Amino acid sequence: MSGRIRITEVSPRDGLQAESVIVDAPTKAELVRKVEATGVDEVEVSSFVSPKWIPQLGDAAEVFDLIAPTKRDGVCYSALVPNMKGFEAALAVNRDAREKHGVERLIDKVSVFTAASEGFSLKNTNATIEETLERFAPIIPEAHAQGLMVRGYISCVIKCPFDGEISAAQVGDVASRLLELGVDEIDLGDTIGAGTPDTIEQVLLEVIDRLDGRAHNDFGDPTLTLHLHDTFGNAAACIDRAIEVGVRSFDSSAGGLGGCPYASTATTRAPGNVSSLTLIDAATEAGVQTAVDRGMMVEASAFASGLIK
């Protein structure tokens, strides 16, 4: 196996959004700096969602203001936006960063998010899948007009805590709709960590088929990303299989922090994201490179874990 994988570090957003402790903005900024320094390709910094739904990330604009002066050349900063209001908040952050800090483009990518299951979509965004797509339609061309990339997340690609098993075709259909809307990247979320190498391979092959041979987007990045949660300890094996079928872009979280609050049920808490060290080690084992300094990721992971103790 050869090549290199692209890594998006999601601990500042996905890692902190479900924790009962609210981490203050300067500490979040420190986490971003630490994970960014490891050499990851992208840092998912925060989300511009309703603070009533996710109070943990209500300070997104403040965090971006704090990290603007130290952004490393070549790193991609991204943020989740559920609707036009969130997208406009992201654009305002970029305007402020230009005026206050002289940073040409602070947020490089906005991530819209929907699901393969209606149950999860409703719980997570108070909208059906169709309604979420309607919300995204005006955002995507406007993002492109501003030079921003757009990631399209699909949650619950294997199983939904409310609707049960999800077929690969269901995921493929949502992926096709997002691609029609113009997203640059599809990110498949195994939100509750239900995947096995075989089921992950099935859904990846379905979406690769929908991508119609387009492995890279206009920005030169992979069009397909995998976002795993390590609930049952299958993530490393799933990463190995994904690399085997050609996936070269993964999300991971320092210290394995986080999970989605709306993936919890009455009896089970939302599980954590695959840890960045697990991802790096699985990639190395599979014979592909990463741009990350492992020693620095050990340090960043200890810092991340310390935040939620």
Tell whether residue 276 is a contact of ligand HMG (CB under 6 A). no
Tell whether residue 86 is a contact of ligand HMG (CB under 6 A). yes
Which of 14, 44, 221, 230 is the binder for Mg ion (CB under 5 A)? 14
Question: For residue 52, what are its two tokens?
Answer: 């009533």
Supply the minimum distance, in Å, between the C-beta of residue 76 and ligand HMG: 16
Supply the minimum distance, in Å, between the C-beta of residue 93 and Mg ion: 22
Query: Quick one: DSSP state of residue 254?
Result: G
Decide whether 106 or 192 has the Cβ nearer to ligand HMG. Answer: 192
> Within 10 A of 199 (CB to CB), how many other CB atoms are there?
20
Supply the minimum distance, in Å, between the C-beta of residue 188 and Mg ion: 11
What is the CA 170 to chain-centroid distance, rounded? 20
Question: For residue 104, what are its two tokens?
Answer: 């040409």
Decide whether 191 or 202 has the Cβ nearer to ligand HMG. Answer: 191
- Could you give the string, one character per residue 249-268, with x where binding to Mg ion holds by CB under 5 A and - elsewhere? --------------------
Supply the minimum distance, in Å, between the C-beta of residue 253 and Mg ion: 8
- C-alpha triplet 110, 84, 128: angle, nearest 5°: 95
Helix (H) or strand (E) holding 155: strand 149-155
Which of 12, 172, 189, 222 is the binder for ligand HMG (CB under 6 A)? 189
**Which among 83, 125, 244, 271 is positioned nearest to 190, based on CA atoms?**
271
Tell whether residue 187 is a contact of Mg ion (CB under 5 A). no
Is 124 strand, coil or helix?
Answer: helix
The listed partner (Mg ion, ligand HMG, none) that binds 82, CB under 5 to 8 Å by sort, is ligand HMG
Decide whether 14 or 201 has the Cβ nearer to ligand HMG. Answer: 14
Strand-pair partners of 229 = 273
**Cβ contacts of residue 202 below 8 Å, gap of 6+?**
168
**Residues binding ligand HMG: what is the number (CB under 6 A)?**
25
Strand-pair partners of 79 = 46, 110
* Strands 164-165 and 159-160, bridge-based pairing: antiparallel
Q: Return d(Cα 111, Cα 116) in angstroms, integer.
A: 16
- Could you give the string, one character per residue 1-20, with x where binding to ligand HMG holds by CB under 6 A and - elsewhere? -------------x--x---
Decide whether 52 or 309 has the Cβ nearer to ligand HMG. Answer: 52
Known active-site residue 260? yes
Piece in contact with ligand HMG (CB under 6 A), picked from 19-27, 70-78, 81-89, 164-172: 81-89
112-141 positions binding ligand HMG, by CB under 6 A: 113, 124-126
Decide whether 47 or 223 has the Cβ nearer to ligand HMG. Answer: 47
Supply the minimum distance, in Å, between the C-beta of residue 155 and Mg ion: 7
Q: Count how many Cα atoms sit within 13 Å of the Cα of residue 40 in the half-sphere of its side chain.
A: 34
Q: Return d(Cα 105, Cα 54) in angstroms, integer.
A: 25
Q: Count how many Cα atoms sit within 13 Å of the Cα of residue 273 in the half-sphere of its side chain.
A: 36
The residue sitting closest to ligand HMG, measured at its beta carbon, is 189
Contact set with Mg ion (CB under 5 A): 14
Active site residues: 260
